[in-house]
Each structure stands twice: as structure tokens, then as C-alpha cells.
Structure 1
Amino acid sequence: MTLHRFRAMNSQFFTKGLDEGAQAMAESWIAVVEEKLSRFNPRSELSNLNRSAGQPFRSSTLLYEVLAEANRYYEATGGLFNPYMGHVIRQLGYSSTFEALAETSANSDPMFVTKPFDCEQPLILDPDTREVTLALKLAVDLGGFAKGWSAHQLSLMIQHAGVRSGAIGAGGDLTLWGVPDEGWSVSIGDPWEASRDLMELQVRYPAGIATSNTVRRQWRDSAGQSRHHIIHPRTGAPAESDLAQVTLFAPNLVDAEVYAKCVLLLGREQGFEWLADNHPACAAIGVLHDGSVRTVGAIGQYAEERGVRE
């Protein structure tokens, strides 16, 4: 199958099994999503929404749909998945793309005090007019959710165009539909060594696969304290979890993206129990900070292990 790569959303994207027309569709769609949803672009529609907090904002169909979907997960997870932490993550120092952040010192707010997220209704949605009203003093940060949502939507469009089997990778996350005879070979990376894989799986069923970790995207704030981008809404601070990384398998990529973060935030014991009780169709592979690997759910519903690389 043809492998096609392109750069977008400060991440590496790839497609596999698509013809040139579908490849062009992929690049065009992701470019449109990035233009509208980037919090790092002050001219994006998302940035305009954030500047309009407290006032009704007439959104495009794309922005409305992704906000409605993100808010649905916010409500379904009891706020554990929280796309309304934009000001928090900016004040902690993540105010530019991570590539730019790695080359400079983080500009955190020395007066900022972390506190639990507390807003009864962060977003009001009007489906008739596509008006959205973001609560005053909040900012939306869709982060990895935007990548997962856009890749999932793209896969639906491509399937509708008649492509019966394919793969889309979005910054380490995967959506797989249809399955070639040989299956899909999927590697689980080492959280600490980007060039090393912990294990290789042979995926034989359609799946959304997302990985969330607290190791790769770290920076030091203006006080020299180490920070990462997974913020716990119940504290307003970077999560302190015994899990360094979670790779989650779900029926679709958006579920995988959201639930991977939830499990990581909750930690191994509580997070694995939460996943098993609430989302039995999902499975997860967690890597603890001591390097040990733990699993929950029926991984065999999605894949079989092919070995661990030394």
C-alpha cells in the first residue's frame, strides 16, 4: 500500500492505502481544520472565539461541530475531559507551538495560582443559528482532540468516497478501517526514547488508537519547574499520575483520544477501573513511570502481540 506523509498541526500525518485523489483530499481537509482550530494562530476562528468569550459568536459549521462534539465528551466524562483550559495551559507557559517552545524559555505567569476548574456551563450552543457562547474568562484549547476528530472525520469522508480499507495517522494517533489480509502492524513507542518501541501489535480489526503521555511534551516554566501539557481539571495543574503513557484502543479515534487522556489523568488503578466499567468495548496499554507495562480490557478484540523490541 502507498504511504503518503505530510506535515500539519505541528505534527506528522500519514495515510496508507489511498489513491492520489484521496491523498489530496486528506491534505486539503487537514489544512482547513488547522486554519480554523489552531490556538497558536491569532487569526484562526478558534482564536476569534476565545477573544469573544462572554458574547455570542456565530461559528462556521466546522467549528460548531467540533465544539459540540468536544462539549459532549466534557459532559459525558463529568468534566474529566476538559477543552476549556486554554488560559490555564497558556499561563503555565505553553503559549506557542512545542517546537518553538523547545527553542526558548517558557513565558509562564509568575503570579498564576492553579485551582480546580469551576464553571457550571462553559459553553452554550444554539444549533439553529450555530451561535456559541463561551463563558467569560475561559478559552478553548482543543489540542490533540482536534487532530483525532479531524482524522476521524477524514476517514468517514474517504470511506464515503469508496475507499474500503485504509489508515490515517495523526501525530501518533491512528484510525484504521477495513483490514488488509496481513492486518495492520502497529508499534507502541517507548515514552522516554522516541527511537525505541516497547511492543509491536498486529491489528486485525477496525480501530481508533490514541496515545497520551506526560513525558514527550515537557518544558520548564519561568521558575525552572518542569511542566507538561496534560492538565488535570480537578487541580488546574499538570497531572501527577503513576502512568507515564496510555495507548487506548476504541471503536473510533475520537473515543480513543478522549479516553486515553482520562485514564492517564486518573492513574492506573482508578483509570483502568473507570475504563472497564464505563467503556467495555475499549482496551488500554499503560506504561508506568518504572517502565512496567499494564493492560486493561480485551486487547485481543483488536490486536495480537508480536513481540517486544529490546
Structure 2
Amino acid sequence: MTPATAAPLASVSFPALGTTASLLVTDPGAMAAARRVLDAELAAVDAACSRFRSDSELSRVNAAAGAAVQVTARFAEALDVALYAARVTEGVVDPTVGSAVRALGYDITFAALRPQDLGPVRVAGPSAGWRTVDWDRAARRLRLPPGVVLDLGATAKALAADRAADRAAEVTGCGVLVNLGGDLSVAGDPPPGGWRIALADDHAAPGTTGRPTVSITEGGLATSGTAVRTWAREERRVHHIVDPATGDNPTPVWRTVSVAAASCVAANTASTEAVVLGDRALGRLRRAGLPARLVRMDGTVERVCGWPEDTVQENTAAENTAAERASGGAR
């Protein structure tokens, strides 16, 4: 998913959180201030929610499973969002899938994965479920059942995008777009015609020419997918999205799912849920009233709730496009 809005905008893209972070502002003079906001947000979410840092707050919480621990306000917010996602999806997007994700081999950063060292697939089985998490919000006191491992990756990055966009727009007074590996949030006044977003599987794919585009003026847009963040376990290819009911990857139905919603958190929650639900996702999205574009494994495109027909981006060399690349599900 790639911003394809033309000048006069300022943009920057850089590696962060194991994916690509992009920042666009409608006032080029506001870029430095907006970048400071985004950098601070990225540092905060990494320190609080990284599965790959032994010194992160999430690692401390997981290591203390079975005992009550006090958590910071920032971690509490991330946990609240993860539990919100679990509640509204009836457990389809669940933060207690940490053991299952590890069992599939995703226990180190994606860049460091060495599939040849992983051996056959191990399935951890059904997750304990979000209702087993003992969470005293007022006291910020958390107790995980023994053996339960939290993974906030399904929602923490989307929360960071929302927070960064809102704060940067407040600080700069201009329109802001933040894209964290397919989790995209906009705030402030948009450019004329809205923010044009080019859709794609892979954040590393160059350019926007030839891609379908969609415009948004507020809220969030998220793409979840199973085509890019994958690795081989002997004869089987696995990916990072887990069905909490089985502890395994869901039956492959959708290659990518893009959803627009009032926030990036809401969009990401729905797009991740759709990948897990398979064909049942169409009815679920219609009932929720969320515009979505779903691409089947064979490339067939389904659209619900007013998602527009594909409009292809056709750039010219003269256009100053603010393009960055984001694939769904990176975390």
C-alpha cells in the first residue's frame, strides 16, 4: 500500500519496526517537526511492544507469566487496544497467540529468519484466549496465566500509526499521513482530492505505476496479507497470521485484504480478522459496514460496502510522487 499523491508534499521513508515507515506532510516546512513526532512514537512502541527485544516491556510481561506485574501507561494503552480487537472480533484477532507464532518459527525478526534451520512445522494448538488475561486497568496491573505469551503485533503498529499521525497534525497544523508497513493513518487537512494510496502486496515493490489506487481523507487504511511475510518449513510455506482457534495459519483464501475505517486500529483489526475468517469475511465486513477490497489467492478481487472499482495509477517522470511501499501484515 503506497501513497501516490503528487506534489506539493514532502515525504520520507525509512526502515523501522522490521518494515518500512513513511511520513507525508502537506506543508514541506513541517517535515522536521512531524518526523520528530514519528521517531518518538516509533521508539516508544518498540520499547513497549517488541517481541524481539529482551529489554522490552512486553518481554518482561511474558517472562513474568503467572505473576502480577505493574505496567506503564503506554503498555496499558497497547494492551487495551489488543483486547479491544479481540473483543470486537470475538477472539479471531487475539493477543494470546504468542506461543503459536513462535512455534511457526517467527520468534526472531523476519530479516533474521533462517528457514533452513527451523525444521518441520510445529503447531502450538488453540490459544488460551483473551478472556484468560487478568487485567486491572485502573491499577495497571496485569497477570498472564502460566505459559501464556502475549503478541501485540496485530495491533501495536496500527496504534502507533494513529498516535503519530494525530500528534504530528496537532503539532504542525497541516495534513499528515503515516504508513507503517501497510498500517496507514491520516490526520489534519488532506491534500486536494484526498490522499491517493496505491495498493500492492509488497512494500519493497518499486513505484506506483500500474497499481490500483484509492483515495482517503480521514481515518485509517490497512492491508493484511499472506503473500510476502512468509517462510518455508521443510515442505510447507507458513506466514505470520495465526488463527487462535487452531494455533496454525488459517486456510488460505485471501492474498490481501484492504479495509478503510475510522482509525488505523479499526482498519487493521478488520483486515486481519478477514484473513482468518476466509470466505466468512465478506458477510462480516458487510455487517460492520466497512469498505474493503479482498484479493483471492487466484487474483480475483471482491469489493464490499462501496469500495470503488480499481483505478490504475499512471505516473509520469514529471510527477513528484510521494511513494513508499508497504505490504499488509508486516510487524
TM-score using structure 1 length: 0.89
Q: 1:161 maps to which residue?
A: 171
Other-structure match for 1:293: 301
> Which secondary structure does the structure 2 equivalent of 1:237 belong to?
coil
SS for the counterpart of 1:125 is strand
- Give 1:267-306 correspondences, 5 Å limit: 267=278, 269-277=279-287, 279-280=288-289, 282-300=290-308, 305-306=310-311
The residue type paired with residue 19 of structure 2 is S
Q: 1:160 to 1:106 in 2, by over 3 A?
A: farther
Q: Which residue of 1 aligns with 2:191?
A: 180
How far apart are 1:155 and its partner, in Å?
A: 1.7
Change (3 A) 1:297 1:196: farther
- Structure 2 Cα separation of the partners of residues 189 and 86 of structure 1: 27
Inter-partner Cα distance in structure 2 for 1:246 and 1:189 = 10
Tell me how many residue pairs correspond in the alignment: 300
SS state at 1:66 partner? helix
Query: Shift of the alpha carbon at 1:109?
Result: 7.3
Shift of 1:113: 4.2
Aligned partner of 1:30 in structure 2 is: 42
Which has more strand, going by share of residues?
A: 1
- Alpha-carbon spacing, 1:59–1:76, altered in 2? closer, same or farther (3 Å): same
Which residue number corresponds to residue 95 of structure 1?
107
Decide whether the 8 Å contact of 1:114 with 1:236 is kept in 2: yes
Given the alignment of the two structures, is residue 117 of structure 1 paired with residue 122 of structure 2, yes or no? no
Q: How far apart, CA to CA, are the structure 2 residues paired with 1:26 and 1:215? A: 28
Matched, 1:10 2:26: no
What is the distance in 1 between the residues matched to 2:265 and 2:50?
A: 18
How do 1:1-310 residues align onto structure 2 when only pairs under 5 Å count? 1-17=9-25, 18-101=30-113, 103-107=114-118, 112-119=122-129, 121-177=131-187, 178-190=189-201, 194-195=205-206, 199-221=211-233, 223-267=234-278, 269-277=279-287, 279-280=288-289, 282-300=290-308, 305-307=310-312
Distance change >3 Å, CA 283–CA 108, structure 1 → 2 = farther
Letter in 2 for 1:123: V
Gaps of 5+ in 2: 1-8, 315-331
Distance verdict in 2 for CA 1:212–1:91, change over 3 Å: same
Change (3 A) 1:195 1:21: closer
Report the Cα distance in structure 2 between the residues aligned to 1:284 and 1:182, rounded to whole angstroms: 20
In the TM superposition, residue 6 of structure 1 has moved relative to its aligned partner by 2.7
Code of the residue aligned with 1:79 in structure 2: it is: G
Letter in 2 for 1:234: A
Cα RMSD (Å): 2.3
Code of the residue aligned with 1:200 in structure 2: it is P
CA distance in 2, matches of 1:122, 1:161: 39
C-alpha contact (below 8 Å) 1:284/1:296 kept by paired residues: yes
Higher relative contact order (CA 8 A, sep 6+): 2
Over residues 17-49 of structure 1, what are the superposed CA-to-partner deviations in whole Å (9 max), with x where a residue is unaligned? 143112112112211211221101111110010
Shift of 1:191: 6.2
| Deviation sequence 1:167-190 (CA, Å, 0-9, x none) | 001012211223211422211114
CA deviations on 1:265-308 (whole Å, 9 max, x unpaired) are 111x310101111x21x2111111111111111225xxx74327
